[in-house]
Amino acid sequence: MMTREEILHHLTAPSAANLFAEARQIRQSTKGNGIFLRGLIELSSICQRNCLYCGMRHDNPKVHRYAMQDDEIVACAALAAQLDFGTVVLQAGECERLWTRERVSTLIRRIKAETGQKVTLSLGERSEADTAEWKAAGADRYLLRFETTDRTLFNQIHPGSPQTDEHPRVAQLLRMREQGYEIGSGVMLGIPGQTLDSVVTDLLTFQTLQLDMVGLGPYLRHPETPLGQSALTSEVPVSVDFTCRCYAITRLLLPNANIPSTTALSTLDPINGRTQGLSSGANVFMPNLTPAFYREGYQIYPGKICVIAPQADSLDALKATFTTLGLHQQNG
């Protein structure tokens, strides 16, 4: 067990070199040298929500809104299979009208039958009946970040959230665990108004929930959003070092978890982000397989960098990074 004080110490100590070394050692013993690649497919930029931080929010008129066709999505999954990834992540802006229970079920069945890839869903807050049917159709995992355990802050940045005692996303995660999903969650680091103390609670909550996967990224200001335009700041630093400390602490708290080095981290520092992420206990990387002509529409934050997997050079660059670190791609 790690105490709150120990976690706070890890987050604020002058050097984190020992913390990173310990996290690497634990990853080595639980995961070996293999890094899982998950092919991210961004199905659509159409969103019914108005989250104050997200560039794809419904009320941002400057977004190019697109939605992929089912055949295009299955073709991306086939590419993931060809590249020996093992899993695709179907992510989209929240939109029940577009991603109906039936349509998603059909997609899951097709991807499994036609490509053999595992399917992770990341379609936002959905009903118990929806996620039950998708599980029955063969979905393996669901990603839903709870963004922050601070309920006041959560409600401020998610207009229209229910005023329930229970965190709505935590409630959904627990339901999906009962339904047989592997569950993934996570938070943004450095949201205006977020405190260090609440990040300690976030990290401990990953452990309480025994998450199978934890995604953590720095909060990146989007100028076309209310939060991006506000003067509010956070005592939580937006930095590669702080994000990597959170990866390492998560690795200590959940030795077996799958922890991606996130796109937001690579965007914050395109040169060193992913190397540092993979050097602080992360064991997953999620190359973007969305067709290039759609990508511009999926700007949840500005300057989002994408590993263009179909272009062999950037996938090669990723593999070269693995080799430098003594790691290798692993199917799973």
Q: Which residues bind ligand 5AD (CB under 6 A)?
A: 53-54, 145, 147, 188, 217, 219-220, 222, 264, 300-301
**Burial, 223: exposed, middle or buried (Cβ in 10 Å; 0-12, 13-18, 19+)?**
exposed
In sequence order, what are the residues at sequence separation of 6 or more whose Cβ sits closer than 8 angstroms to the Cβ of residue 146? 154, 167, 169, 170, 173, 185, 186, 187, 202, 205
**Burial, 161: exposed, middle or buried (Cβ in 10 Å; 0-12, 13-18, 19+)?**
middle
Which CB, 39 or 217, lies closer to ligand 5AD? 217
Helix (H, G, I), strand (E, B) or coil at 51: coil
Q: Find the shortest distance in angstroms from Cβ 313 to ligand 5AD.
A: 26
Q: Find the shortest distance in angstroms from Cβ 188 to ligand 5AD.
A: 5
Q: Tokens 């560039």 — which residue?
A: 55
Which CB, 137 or 188, lies closer to ligand 5AD? 188
Which CB, 264 or 327, lies closer to ligand 5AD? 264
Cα 86 to chain centroid, rounded: 17
Q: Find the shortest distance in angstroms from Cβ 47 to ligand 5AD.
A: 11
Q: Find the shortest distance in angstroms from Cβ 299 to ligand 5AD.
A: 9
In sequence order, what are the residues at sequence separation of 6 or more whose Cβ sits closer than 8 angstroms to the Cβ of residue 236? 189, 190, 191, 194, 195, 196, 199, 242
Q: Find the shortest distance in angstroms from Cβ 272 to ligand 5AD.
A: 18
Which CB, 217 or 287, lies closer to ligand 5AD? 217
In sequence order, what are the residues at sequence separation of 6 or more whose Cβ sits closer than 8 angstroms to the Cβ of residue 68? 41, 43, 44, 76, 290, 291, 294
Which CB, 219 or 285, lies closer to ligand 5AD? 219
Q: Find the shortest distance in angstroms from Cβ 170 to ligand 5AD.
A: 14
Q: How far does the chain reach from its first CA to its final CA, in angstroms?
A: 29
Q: Find the shortest distance in angstroms from Cβ 22 to ligand 5AD.
A: 26
Which CB, 57 or 118, lies closer to ligand 5AD? 57
| Structure-block tokens of residue 332 | 């799973």
Which CB, 265 or 318, lies closer to ligand 5AD? 265
Residue 219 CA to residue 265 CA, distance in Å, equals 9
